[in-house]
Amino acid sequence: MINLENSVGIVETKFFTIDEELELESGEKFGPVQVAYETYGALNENKDNAILLLHALTGDAHAAGYNSENDRKPGWWDDMVGSGKAFDTDKYFVISSNMLGGCSGTTGPCSINPQTGKPYGLSFPVITIEDAVKVQKKLVDFLGVKKLIVAGGSMGGMQALEWSITHSDMVDAVIIIASTSRLTAQGIAFNAVGRNAILSDPYFNNGDYYDSDNQPEKGLSIARMIGHITYLCEESMHSKFGRRFKNEIDGKEHPNFDFGIDFQVESYLAHQGQTFVDRFDANSYLYITKAVDYFDLAHKHESLENAFKKTNARFLVISFTSDWLFPTSQSKEIVQALIKAGRDVSFCEIESPCGHDAFLLEFETQTKIVKSFLSKSFGGANV
């Protein structure tokens, strides 16, 4: 049984369709787009108490609460969204949507192309963070929102940054957690190897596998394992698994002397890989990691400072000490450019052993910081 106490309760994932074609960054036109979204709390009369949450690489619209009585676990940011929580649903109208290109209700490569009656597969256009934001803007307009706060961790932070620049007239405050304004070469490399594993899977079949008995599970699983190494830090891997073996003989840990699951960390990775293929689409993984690779504010706006001169919001930037995927140095780059651009920015580095995953785990400290930051938003007036 689910525990509805301290929860937004049972929530329904809703759908909104953008009927017209969107012009994508690549130059292609694409549509229609269905958007899966959830909302928590209520929009006020002035329609200016909205917070748009933006999910990370493999997230979805279901940020908080439960979708049914039978749900085994709540949404991905349930600790942060609800009555009295960081994103307080007593005060705010909180919106979360699945990203364009995803596989959890928003149009993506696994969706049916209305022109062919078959899934898009690799005929889906290559998309960018900017394209994802275009879709979110349509949703926010549809919901009648006039002013909003944008907040996200990891890839969600990239989208929040993009929102603050492209829709500076609407965005009052921006919360960027464990994120970056562009991937490093190393970050691109990790994504590229993951994509390579998917593309190399014989069942990938050039992205056309939806009707097949065989799915590119091994490739997708390897991509996820690589991801997980980068989401944890060395320290957290050490404390979770160390060099312990999985098997015991007479109560003593024992190496297998074969190539099966041997160390506990191998068991963890295999489990992460397997549970991922049960919930995520290999094509979506290609498209979304590519969008992340392409995101580069400094390149697009000539400098990060120039990019932020186009914003009109207050910023909160949070990083975690043990995050080596998007380390504190990259958050500081954002902060320094914001300062140079004359923007109001708060920065906090949280001490945590949880690596990049900390933004999903360290909710107590994040709650304090986010609440304090939000208490100054909207002039403290309308909420």
Contacting residues toward its own copies, per CB under 8 A: 26, 122, 125-126, 182-186, 188-190, 192-193, 195-197, 199-202, 218-219, 221-222, 225-226, 229, 232-234, 237-238, 240-243, 255, 257-259, 262-263, 265-266, 269-270, 273, 286, 290, 293-294, 296, 299
- For 259, other C-beta atoms within 10 Å of its C-beta total 7
C-beta closer to its own copies: residue 242 or 342: 242
C-beta closer to its own copies: residue 199 or 341: 199
C-beta closer to its own copies: residue 208 or 296: 296
Buried b (16+ CB within 10 A) or exposed e, 287-317: bbbbbbbbbbbeebbeebbbbbbebebbbbb
Catalytic residue among 323, 331, 357, 377: 323
- DSSP secondary structure string for all residues of 25-65: TTS-EE--EEEEEEEES---TTS--EEEEE--TT--S--SS
Catalytic residue among 7, 154, 179, 284: 154
- Our answer to whether residue 62 is catalytic in this structure is no
Gap between the Cα atoms of 203 and 327, Å rounded: 36
C-beta closer to its own copies: residue 125 or 157: 125
Gap between the Cα atoms of 339 and 337, Å rounded: 5
- Our answer to whether residue 323 is catalytic in this structure is yes
- Our answer to whether residue 55 is catalytic in this structure is no
User: At residue 92, what are phi and psi to the nearest 5 degrees?
Assistant: -115, 155
CB of 268 to its own copies, least distance (A): 8
CB of 353 to its own copies, least distance (A): 13
Give 366's Cβ-side CA count (13 Å radius).
Answer: 27
CB of 25 to its own copies, least distance (A): 8
CB of 214 to its own copies, least distance (A): 10
Gap between the Cα atoms of 68 and 154, Å rounded: 28
Which residues are annotated as catalytic? 154, 323, 356
